[in-house]
Amino acid sequence: MSETIDFDALFQHGRLYSGFDSEDEQTLKAEGGKLLPHLQSVTDQFYAALAHIPDAQPFLEGRLEALKKTHVAWLQTVFSGPYDANFAAHMHKVGEVHVQVKLPVEFMACGMIQISRYLIPVLAQVYAGDSDTLARMMKAINAVTGFCLILMQESYQSSLLAQELEKFMSITGISRALFNNLAAAYKD
Ligand code: HEM
């Protein structure tokens, strides 16, 4: 499915909807390194919070340590970039992995909210006495996590449409070729 996606367009879409702009990119590139030593602790707190959500348990059991590793690696990319079509493609792929394991979509927003929850005290500590940079970092982190969320949710949306279409074709017996012809004929 991913081969047919225009990731440049998706990158621009994510930027527009999240407000993730060039100033945010510069801020994250300049300041992100200061947060790297804290990302393991943010991740540990993230999974400790998920441990209180019963519906999350089937997705965590037996793979918590592996998930923590991929999660820290992902957070590192968020704070180092580069922020381009490949970044958009990566976030879309991460969304697809969650679709494949059938993780309910609300866990995407839940995850991002937990990340902000544990990053905020880190920011307060790292930027104590420097409210200008603190404000710029909060704006940038809000934008980049919103960007990632939008891209991951986009995967859910396109997968859901594809699944519905498969179901429709299997119920009606309509082939994909016929469906494509009908869709082209009724485009408007
Ligand atoms: C902010 C939200 C989240 C982000 C950014 C995130 C990030 C990731 C990444 C980077 C991967 C690896 C993708 C790959 O293999 O290419 C992954 C896989 C996965 N995540 Fe998440 N995750 C999020 C939320 C969650 C939550 C809330 C849960 C569980 C309740 C979860 C469960 C999983 C599972 C089960 C996998 C697949 C692991 C496997 O392949 O065995 N994720 N996630």
Q: pLDDT value at position 150?
A: 97
Exposure pattern of 11-47 as b/e (b: 16+ CB <10 Å)?
Answer: bebbbeebebeeebbebbeebbeebeebbeebbebbb
CATH of domain 2-155: 1.10.490.10
Q: Write down how long the chain is.
A: 188
Dihedral angle sign, alpha carbons of residues 169, 174, 177, 178: negative
Instruction: Report the residue among 74, 92, 97, 105 best suited for mutation to probe ligand 1: largest number of ligand atoms under 8 A from its CB.
Output: 97
In this prediction the pTM is 0.89
What is the mean pLDDT for each group of 10 consecutive residues in the chain (188 residues)?
A: 78 97 97 97 98 97 96 96 96 95 96 97 97 98 98 89 82 87 82
Instruction: Report the residue among 74, 98, 155 best suited for mutation to probe ligand 1: largest number of ligand atoms under 8 A from its CB.
Output: 98
Distances (CA, A) of 119 to 2, 41, 42, 88: 31, 10, 7, 22
Q: Calculate how far, in angstroms, residue 150's C-alpha sits from the geometric centre of ligand 1.
A: 15
Question: Which amino acid, one-letter code, is at 64?
Answer: L
Q: Calculate how far, in angstroms, residue 30's C-alpha sits from the geometric centre of ligand 1.
A: 27
Confirm or reject: Cβ of 69 under 6 Å from ligand 1. Answer: no
Q: What is the DSSP letter of 84?
A: S
Preceding amide of 37 cis, omega within 30: no
Confirm or reject: Cβ of 94 under 6 Å from ligand 1. Answer: yes
Question: Which amino acid, one-letter code, is at 72?
Answer: V
Q: pLDDT value at position 2?
A: 43
Atom of ligand 1 nearest to the CA of 112: 1
Q: Calculate how far, in angstroms, residue 74's C-alpha sits from the geometric centre of ligand 1.
A: 10
Report the 10 Å Cβ neighbour count for 95: 25
